[in-house]
Amino acid sequence: MFLEILAFFVGCLTNIIDYMNDSKIFLKYKLPAELIFFLITLYFFLSNKYISFFGSGLFALGGFFGTIFAPHAIEATIWKSVIYLAIPIFIYHLFNIPLLINELTTKDLTQFIFNVMPIVIGSLILALFEDYMVPEEYSNKKLYDKLFQFVVLLIFLYMLNNHKIFINLTDINKLILNLFTLSWFGNIVSGIFILSSLSHLFTREQ
């Protein structure tokens, strides 16, 4: 449960830091927020080798594809710092795959490849598509988009932990999907709060 709460919190931070960088609000809290985010991310990279492999791979490969398809999304120093941190960790895991999978079952590996990865990759493609469809940082359209994502993620989280479709997921694969989804959910929740409660701080025309 601790990792799940931490994932939700770090998801909230990603969106808050984004608004600090893009909209220049609450700048006096920017450095502490980025430091906390960096330290929590480092904790995820070091606390569990499977979460470390998944998380470092997500940032390393996400940084690579982000540079190609959405360079504006990773231009802030904090995102580049985490990507640069993730790359050597991910490479280390790739060179030590036998040690990494030593304690995993065939079921763990099969589910990771055919269940977890398609969901994660599909989610990231949708996020990229959303970035192109709703490029503005704040607007009613952006708020409605995040409210829609909120409902979808809430339903998915419920199904992931209660529905028979996911009942056969192994513990490690369910943990990875829960952490991934909760971090995204945290991002959406903080986004809804900012868009609905702090819109008076924004000066850009709607």
pLDDT in tens, 90-131: 999 999 999 888 889 999 999 999 999 999 999 998 888 887
pLDDT at 21: 87
pTM above 0.85, yes or no: yes
Residue 126 lies in a domain: yes
DSSP state of 168: T
| CB 12, CB 37: distance < 8 Å | no
Nearest to 81 by CA among 128, 45, 47: 45
Q: Give, rounded to a whole angstrom, the gap between the first and last alpha carbons of the chain.
A: 40
- Average pLDDT on 42-56 reads 93
Residues spanned by the domain of 114: 2-201
What band does 66 get if pLDDT is binned at 50, 70 and 90?
confident
What band does 55 get if pLDDT is binned at 50, 70 and 90?
very high
What band does 205 get if pLDDT is binned at 50, 70 and 90?
very low
pLDDT at 206: 44
Residue 160 lies in a domain: yes
Question: Which residues, other chains included, contact 188 with Cβ-Cβ below 8 Å and sequence gap of 6+?
Answer: 11, 15, 146, 149, 150, 153
| CB 79, CB 15: distance < 8 Å | no
Share of the chain above pLDDT 90, in %: 64
Q: How many domains would you assign to the chain?
A: 1
- Average pLDDT on 146-166 reads 92
Residue 157 lies in a domain: yes
pLDDT at 132: 82
Residue 206 lies in a domain: no
Cα gap 86→102, rounded to integer Å:
22
| CB 83, CB 41: distance < 8 Å | no
Residue 103 lies in a domain: yes
Residue 82 lies in a domain: yes
What b/e readout covers 7-46, taking b as 16+ CB neighbours within 10 angstroms?
A: bbbbbbbbbbbbbbbebeeeeeebeebbeebeeebeebbe
Cα gap 50→173, rounded to integer Å:
9
pLDDT greater at residue 135 or residue 97: 97
| The one-letter amino acid at 183 | S
Residue 143 lies in a domain: yes
pLDDT at 108: 94
Residue 53 lies in a domain: yes
